Amino acid sequence: MEKAYTKVWESCLGIIKDNVSSQSFKTWFEPIKPVKLSANVLTIQVPSQFFYEWLEEHYITLLKKTIKKELGTEGRLEYSIIMENNYNNTSKPYTVKIPTNNKKELKNPSVSMPIDINNNGIRNPFIIPGLKKVNVESQLNANYSFENLVEGDCNRLARSAGFAVANKPGGTAFNPLLIYGGVGLGKTHLAHAIGIQIKNEFPNKTVLYVSSEKFTQQYIDSVRNNNQNDFVHFYQMIDVLIIDDVQYFAGKEKTQDVFFHIFNHLHQTGKQLVLTADKAPVELQGFEQRLLSRFKWGLAADLQTPALETRIAILVKKVYADGLDLPKEVIEYLAYSITTNVRELEGALISLLAQSSMNKKAITLELAKQMIDKFVKNTAREVSIDYIQKVVCDYFDLPIELLKSKTRKREVVQARQIAMYFAKSMTKSSLATIGLHCGGKDHATVLHACRTVNNLMDTDKRFKNYIEELNKKISIQ
């Protein structure tokens, strides 16, 4: 036979459900269990002190009206708080029953609550900075969407996996999805894009992006304030947890321990985890093996340095999005010159625009060369093989595909040899790498090309003039 307190609470839930969002109802009211009804006092069981304090702060008026409607003007609500003896849930929770003579009345007399177990007054709720709202703010950057993420060979696998996760969070084999790669290659952008897509497709899911440093600091604060249970409970409520730069957990044993248990809970309950790191799981140092093994459960997808075509596409998209008009030769020059990562590429573009605006100069190739020299000299001192090949091909009016082909036509062979010569003298690339860029030639062919160019410069005045003019066009020093 169904107990009276169960029926009363079900009636209360019916009213509450009509007055809060579905996400709020699911998060804050579904976990509550009615345990007793005595003399117009309904006792409900809540998962933690934090949970109770959140209800008191945000739903006191609604609860008051609901209890009055179901139990009359004398109706009251009391709480039984589940306390756990450690934060990893390895021990069975037990209920702390607070004697009625230890109650502290709220400003609202129709709802009463017990003080905490130490009788030291109510602890402050565990409030994560910036995340005080009932519907947790996702901390996502709207600019980092899939639409703004240019696809290329460098990121195709990670992007595709991210999109699959975004359309079926927790329901793919990619859980966790760990995205790794060097600085400025788009890890954070992709992580945000996944979160944004999930929020668009599943508005009721709670998505949270947090950096590993912030997670660590929050955990330290929870230890200092003696509310680790609340910290863990908060993270266990998240549907999609995105942790950026997990490599910073290295050497932090306690943080790794608490994250291990949060990870387990989320994974076992079908929630989605998205992680980013600067290295593959097998290369991460200072981690417990049990945590590293979990990083390998899903998919580890790497991001690589973008190829020339992708770098051009990134700049074109950025210029178009900002409503700007840049000469094609300037965009190509930037893409050829900045080969390290996307962040520096976009930084170079911003520096060029600022230089143009401040000095009231039109954006020209010459200005771009000056800017590269002045603003990004430390990151782009070395000209790339791709750029050398482009300048040489433009000079001799040859398609770059022809230079990279196997053809033995005299004019193509000569242009190829000149490109090899400048690549050896202006880059730090190995002979094998230069040969690979020039149609798959071996290092001996590159050495022969350099000797040929040097000999022709000594014997052919016209050829020497070619080299001098090309040197001026290629050089950015």
CATH number of domain containing 321: 1.10.8.60
Q: Is the predicted pLDDT of residue 102 greater than 50, yes or no?
A: no
Would you place residue 243 in the very low, low, confident or very high pLDDT band (cuts 50, 70, 90)? very high
CA distance 171 to 160: 15
Residue 111 has pLDDT above 50, yes or no: no
Neighbour order of strands in the sheet with 272-277: 207-211, 240-244, 272-277, 177-181, 299-303
Positive or negative, the CA dihedral 242, 244, 247, 248 is negative
Look-up: residue for tokens 């345990």?
35
Instruction: Indicate the pTM of the whole model.
Output: 0.53
Model confidence at 117: pLDDT above 60: no
Model confidence pLDDT, tens digit, residues 289-338: 888 888 888 888 888 877 777 788 878 777 776 666 777 777 877 777 77
Read off the tokens for 92. Answer: 């069975």
| pLDDT at res. 471 | 86
The residue from 92, 114, 136 where one domain ends is 114
Residue 192 and residue 59 in one domain: no
Q: Can you tell me the mean pLDDT for 391-409?
A: 86
Whether residue 287 is found in the same domain as residue 184: yes
User: Is residue 161 located within the same domain as residue 283?
Assistant: yes
- Please indicate, yes or no, if residue 448 is contained in any of the structural domains: yes
The answer to whether residue 358 sits within a structural domain is: yes
Query: Is a pLDDT exceeding 90 seen at residue 274?
Result: yes
Question: What is the reported pLDDT for 56?
Answer: 76
128-137, Cβ contacts within 8 angstroms, sequence gap of 24 or more: 128/218, 128/234, 129/218, 131/208, 134/24, 134/27, 134/28, 134/54, 134/58, 135/21, 135/23, 135/24, 135/206, 136/206, 136/207, 136/208, 136/238
Average pLDDT over residues 123-140: 50
pLDDT of residue 1: 35
* Same structural domain, 342 and 447: no
What are the tens digits of pLDDT across the range 44-84? 888 776 677 778 777 888 888 888 888 888 888 888 876 54
Name the burial class of residue 304, with classes exposed (0-12), middle (13-18) and buried (19+) by CB atoms within 10 angstroms of its CB. Answer: middle
Provide the token pair at 443.
Answer: 């290092």
Q: Tell which wins on pLDDT, 89 or 395.
A: 395
- The reply to whether 164 falls in a domain is yes
Same domain flag for 257 and 212: yes
Kindly give, in sequence order, each residue whose CB lies less than 8 Å from that of residue 430, ignoring residues fewer than 6 positions away. 443
Looking up residue 421, the CATH number of its domain turns out to be 1.10.1750.10
Q: Is residue 31 part of a domain?
A: yes
Task: Round the average pLDDT of the chain to a whole number and report it.
Answer: 78
> Do 332 and 292 fall within a single domain?
no
Q: The domain that contains 228 carries what CATH number?
A: 3.40.50.300
pLDDT of 198 higher than 90: yes
- Identify the domain containing residue 43 by its residue range: 4-114
- 280, 303, 326: which is the final residue of a domain? 303
| 383 backbone φψ class: left, alpha, beta (φ>0; ψ -120 to 50) | beta
Q: Residue 177 has what pLDDT?
A: 93
Residue 134 has pLDDT above 60, yes or no: no
Domain with 107 in it: what CATH number? 3.30.300.180
Shared domain for 293 and 335, answered yes or no, is no
Establish if 133 belongs to a structural domain.
no
Quick check: is 149 in a domain? no
User: Does the structure show a pLDDT above 90 at 272?
Assistant: yes
Q: Is the dihedral angle over the CA atoms 321, 327, 328, 331 positive or is it negative?
A: negative
Share of the chain above pLDDT 90, in %: 10
- Residue 242 predicted with pLDDT over 90: yes
Q: What is the pLDDT of residue 322?
A: 66
pLDDT at 287 exceeding the cut of 50: yes
* Interval 135-147 mean pLDDT: 80
Joined tokens for residue 369 = 């060369």
Token pair 């036509």 is found at 409
With bands split at pLDDT 50, 70 and 90, how would you rate the model's confidence at 96? very low
The verdict on residue 316 lying in a domain is yes
pLDDT value of position 50: 67
Say yes or no: 190 and 322 in one domain.
no
Read off the pLDDT band of 355 (50, 70, 90). low
Single out the residue of 383, 311, 400, 320 nearest to residue 347, CA to CA: 311
Q: Tell me, yes or no, whether 276 and 184 share the same domain.
A: yes
pLDDT at 107 over 80: no
Model pLDDT, residue 357: 67
Given 246, 277, 303, the domain boundary residue is 303
Same domain, 269 and 162: yes
Residue 140 belongs to some domain of the structure? no
* Range picked from 224-228, 345-349, 450-454 for highest mean pLDDT: 450-454
The answer on 299 and 184 residing in a single domain is: yes
φ and ψ at residue 36, rounded to 5 degrees? -165, 150
| pLDDT recorded at residue 380 | 44
Q: What is the pLDDT of residue 444?
A: 86
Question: What domain count does the chain have?
Answer: 4
Is residue 433 pLDDT above 70, yes or no?
A: yes
Examine the domain organization and report whether 173 and 232 are in the same domain: yes
